[in-house]
């Protein structure tokens, strides 16, 4: 064997990953780690508040949530505190958490904010000249709404309702307005779902109103859009105020 051979022996065969920190491509991906227990409780409770399975005024105990999810009370307490900060729960020591009802004042404020933001967005896209393109994207969401069965898909219908309107707001191209509008997400979904529970026939009215809004946007009628939008949002949110 030459001196060169002795000083540079061949590397032994190995199944170790290559250098550089990259995983061996022959090794299957490892499963994702389980989500923290507090996150799971948070999602479980919040989903039920937004879709109406936990209606306003209902009292939920830590023990009930812990039993339902087979967890200890510590992550439940964590999740309850987060939801209290978001205004969805009100905590009572040794009693549990009250689901905060949607107040008339909240309905009025969300209605006013939405009309201002969405009508402004319509004016922006009309002035910019791409209203027809934006309306086409909104119609795509509307078509998905039409495909849903009620009442089983009530929560999904409400989520698509929010997406329909957010498509317009985002198209206006103002990041700050879009960010502010996204903060209304939970309230929009909760209010729409609650309204549909109270007035199931509202679904067909919403679909027809969405179609009219698209037509007004395509036609460049900003004033007509705002008027119809006001009736549309007020009609859905107003169902929450009916006794």
Fold of 37-99: Arc Repressor Mutant, subunit A (1.10.10)
Angle between helices 154-171 and 202-218 (to 10 degrees): 20
Over residues 38-84, the pLDDT tens digits come to 999 999 999 999 999 999 999 999 999 999 999 999 999 999 999 99
Coil, helix or strand at residue 11: coil
Over the stretch 199-236, which tens digit does the pLDDT of each residue have? Answer: 989 999 999 999 999 999 999 999 999 999 999 999 99
- For residue 155 the two structure tokens come to 């929560």
Residue 13 above 90 pLDDT? no
Average pLDDT of span 2-14: 45
Q: pLDDT band at 17, cuts 50/70/90?
A: very low
State which H helix or E strand residue 59 sits in: strand 59-60
pLDDT score of 19 more than 70: no
pLDDT tens, 126-170? Answer: 999 999 999 999 999 999 999 997 767 898 999 999 999 999 999
Q: Which helix (H) or strand (E) holds 78?
A: helix 73-85
Q: Which pLDDT score is estimated for 3?
A: 45
pLDDT of residue 149: 79
- Calculate the CA 196 to chain-centre distance: 17
Long-range contacts of 170-179 (CB under 8 A, 24+ apart): 171/121, 171/125, 171/130, 171/134, 171/137, 172/120, 172/121, 172/124, 172/125, 173/124, 174/124, 177/117, 177/120, 177/121
185-198 and 202-218 are packed helices; what angle lies between their axes, rounded to 10 degrees? 130
pLDDT the model gives residue 41: 96
pLDDT at residue 15, rounded to an integer? 44
What average pLDDT does the segment 177-196 reach? 94
Cis peptide before 151 (omega within 30 of 0): yes
Is the per-residue pLDDT at 18 higher than 70?
A: no
Confidence category of residue 33, pLDDT binned at 50, 70, 90? confident
Longest dimension (CA), the chain: 97
The domain over range 104-238 is classified in CATH as 1.20.120.530: yes
Average pLDDT, the chain: 88
Kind and range of the H or E run holding 90 = strand 89-92
Q: Are residues 195 and 240 in contact, defined by beta-carbon separation less than 8 angstroms?
A: yes
pLDDT at 6: 46
- Residue spans per domain, the chain: 37-99, 104-238
The pLDDT assigned to 94 comes to 86
Q: How far is CA 153 from the centre of its chain?
A: 15
| Burial of residue 195, with CB atoms counted within 10 A of its CB: 0-12 exposed, 13-18 middle, 19 or more buried | buried
Q: In this predicted model, what pLDDT tens digit does every residue of 96-115 receive, in sequence order?
A: 999 999 999 999 999 999 99
């Amino acid at each position: 064997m030459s001196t060169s051979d002795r000083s540079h022996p061949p590397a032994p065969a190995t199944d170790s990953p290559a250098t550089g920190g990259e995983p061996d491509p022959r090794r299957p991906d490892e499963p994702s780690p389980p989500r923290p227990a507090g996150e799971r409780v948070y999602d479980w409770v919040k989903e039920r508040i937004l879709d109406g399975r936990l209606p306003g005024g209902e009292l939920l105990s830590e023990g009930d949530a812990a039993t339902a999810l087979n967890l200890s009370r510590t992550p439940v307490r964590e999740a309850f505190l987060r939801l209290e900060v978001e205004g969805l729960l009100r905590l009572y020591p040794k009693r549990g958490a009250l689901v905060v009802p949607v107040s008339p004042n909240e309905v009025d404020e969300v209605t006013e904010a939405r009309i201002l933001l969405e009508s402004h967005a319509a004016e922006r896209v009309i002035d910019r000249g791409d209203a027809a393109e934006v309306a086409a994207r909104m119609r795509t969401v509307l078509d998905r709404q039409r495909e849903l069965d009620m009442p089983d898909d009530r929560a999904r219908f409400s989520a698509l309702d929010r997406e329909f309107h957010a498509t317009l707001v985002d198209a206006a191209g103002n990041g700050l307005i879009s960010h502010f509008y996204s903060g209304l997400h939970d309230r929009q979904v909760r209010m729409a779902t609650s309204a549909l529970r109270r007035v199931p026939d509202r679904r067909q009215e919403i679909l027809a109103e969405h179609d009219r809004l698209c037509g007004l946007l395509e036609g460049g009628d900003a004033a007509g859009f705002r008027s119809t939008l006001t009736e549309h949002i007020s009609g859905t949110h107003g169902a929450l105020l009916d006794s």
